[in-house]
Structure 1
Amino acid sequence: MTVWDRPEPPTRPAPLDRARIVAAAIALADEGGLEAVSLRKVAARLDVGPMRLYGYISTKEELFDLMVDEVHAEILPEERPGDWREALRGHGHRARRAALRHEWLADLLGGRPSLGPNAFAVAEGTLAALDGLADLDTVMRAVETVSAYINGAIRREITNLRAERATGLSKLDWQRAHGPHVSRMLATGRFPAVAKAVYDGTEVEAETSFTTGLDWVLDAVAAKLTQPPE
C-alpha cells in the first residue's frame, strides 16, 4: 500500500498531518539539500517526538515521494494551454523554475514515476495535450523524449550552480582559472573542433540555452507527429 493509499492516524495532541510534515521536510531540503532531511530532523522542526511521524510516514523514501509530489503542484499550469507545443514548453519552463526553487528536486528526477495526485495531474495534462495527434506509442515516445531533455538540462544547470557555490568560483572565474590549461591543449592542434567551439562559439545564459534546446526538441517532436504512419 502506498503512502497515498494509507489513511492518516486519528488526531492527537499537538496537531500533526502529512501536509505539515512535508512542508517541514521541504523547508529543510531547501536549506540544506536532501542530506539535511531525516525523520528525526523533521520531527525536531515540528517540535514533536520522532515516533509521532511513523504514524504518517514509514520511511524517508516515502517522505521524498511526498515532497516530490508537493513540488509537482508548482508545475501544474494555471490554465489549459492553447496547443500541445505550448503545453510542453510551459511544462518545461515550470519544471525548471520549480527545480531552481528546490534544487534537491534535481536529485530525484528521472527515476521511477511519481505516483502522487499532483504528478498524475501533470502527466495527464501532458498526455492529453498530445492526444489524437498520433498513435499512442508515438505520443509516449514524444513525452519521454521531452522529459529526458528537461530532466537532463535541469540536472546540468543545478550541478553547475552547486559547483559554483562549492568552489566559490563563478563560471567566468572558473574559465579564467583554467584558461591557460585549455589554451595549451588547443595549441597542440589535436582538437580543432573544440578549438573552434571555444574561440568562435557564443556564450549564452542558462535560461536561453534551456529554451533553445527545448524548442529544438519540440521541433523534432512536431516532425514525428506529422509524419505519415509506415
Structure 2
Amino acid sequence: MDTPYGSAPLPVWERPEPQPRAAPVPLSRAKIAAAAIRLADADGLEGLSVRKIAKELGVGPMRLYDYVTNRSELLDLMVDAVYARIAEPGQDSAQESEWRATVLAIVHRTRAAALEHEWFADLLGARPHLGPHALAVGESTAAALGQAPGLHGVDDLQRALGALNAFIVGSLRREITERRTARATGTDVSAWQAALGPYLTRMLETGRYPTVARLVHDGAHLDAGETFHHTLTTILDGITGHPRT
C-alpha cells in the first residue's frame, strides 16, 4: 500500500478496518485488542497467542490476520488501548499554575493502569509507543512540563522528560516485579523476616554496615503508593529547582 512517504505500509492505527464480512461474529481491531488484554491480564504476555484470542472471540484464527499482520501490531493495539484510559479524563491543563497537577495526574493514572494490567509495565520503555492515545498522553505531559519554572528551551524539556520517564519505567517495573514474586512464592514480610532475619541480624552485628543497620532498625515499612508519590514530587522539585513548600 503506497503512502505519501513512499512504499512503506501504513501502521496499524492508520489502516482502514477491513470490510465487514457476512459472518456470525463481527470483528474490529478494538474487539481484538480488548480480547487480547483480557487474556494478557489473566496469563501474561507469555500466554498470549492468536489461537487463544480467536477462541476468546469465537472465530477462526485466520480471520484475525485481516486486522493485524503480526504480534507486534497486536501489542501496539493493546498498549494504545491502555493509553486511551490514561488519557481518558481529557481535562488536563498546561496552564503555568496547573502544570504540576497535570503531570501528577497523568503519572498516577499510568501507575494505576500498570497495576491493573501488569503486562503493560513489561512494555514500558521497551519500544516507542506511537499510537494516537500514547501520543496524546505524551503531548499532555510534555506541554504541562514545558510550563514548569526552571525549564528553558527544548533541551531542558527533553532532559526533564527523560528523567520523569526513567522514574516511571523503573519504579513501575520494580513494583510489578515485587508483586509477581510475592504471588509466585507466597512470600510476605513476616515470612521473609522469619527466613532471612537471623542471617541479616548476624551481618548487621558485625558493624560493617551501619547505614543499612539504621535503615533496617529505624526505617518504616513504606507504602508503595505513598513512596511513588513522594519520589515523583521530589523529581518534579528537582526538575524545576523550586521545591514545593
- Structure-to-structure mapping, 1:27-38, within 5 angstroms: 27-38=38-49
- Structure-to-structure mapping, 1:153-192, within 5 angstroms: 153-192=171-210
Residue in 1 aligned with 2:166?
A: 148
Alpha-carbon distance in 1 for matches of 2:106, 2:92:
12
Residue 77 of structure 1 and its aligned partner are, at CA, apart by: 5.4
Alpha-carbon distance in 1 for matches of 2:48, 2:19:
25
The partner residue of 2:65 within 43, 54, 57 is 54
- Structure-to-structure mapping, 1:66-105, within 5 angstroms: 66-76=77-87, 78=89, 79-81=91-93, 83-105=98-120
Bigger share in helix:
1
The one-letter code sitting in structure 2 at the alignment partner of 1:223 is G
User: What TM-score comes out, normalization by structure 1 length?
Assistant: 0.93
Alpha-carbon distance in 2 for matches of 1:58, 1:194:
52
The one-letter code sitting in structure 1 at the alignment partner of 2:72 is E
Alpha-carbon distance in 2 for matches of 1:121, 1:102:
20
The partner residue of 2:222 within 204, 216, 224 is 204
1:125 lines up with 2:136 in the alignment: no
Residue pair 1:87, 1:129 contacting (<8 A) in 2 also: yes
Unaligned runs of 5+ in 2: 1-8
Question: How much identity, in percent, do the aligned residues show?
Answer: 50
- Structure-to-structure mapping, 1:210-225, within 5 angstroms: 210-223=228-241
Residue 208 of structure 1 and its aligned partner are, at CA, apart by: 0.8
Alpha-carbon distance in 2 for matches of 1:9, 1:124:
30
Alpha-carbon distance in 2 for matches of 1:172, 1:7:
55
Residue 58 of structure 1 and its aligned partner are, at CA, apart by: 1.0
The one-letter code sitting in structure 1 at the alignment partner of 2:199 is H
Residue in 2 aligned with 1:7?
A: 16
Residue 214 of structure 1 and its aligned partner are, at CA, apart by: 0.5
Deviations 1:129-183 (A, max 9, x none): 1335520110111111111111111111111110110001123322332111111
Deviations 1:43-84 (A, max 9, x none): 110011111001111111111111111000111151124622
Unaligned runs of 5+ in 1: 225-230
Residue 218 of structure 1 and its aligned partner are, at CA, apart by: 0.6
Alpha-carbon distance in 1 for matches of 2:121, 2:208:
36
Residue 5 of structure 1 and its aligned partner are, at CA, apart by: 2.3
Deviations 1:82-107 (A, max 9, x none): 62211111111111111111011111
Number of aligned positions between the proteins? 225
- Alpha-carbon spacing, 1:132–1:158, altered in 2? closer, same or farther (3 Å): closer
Alpha-carbon distance in 1 for matches of 2:193, 2:112:
26
Alpha-carbon distance in 1 for matches of 2:92, 2:113:
19
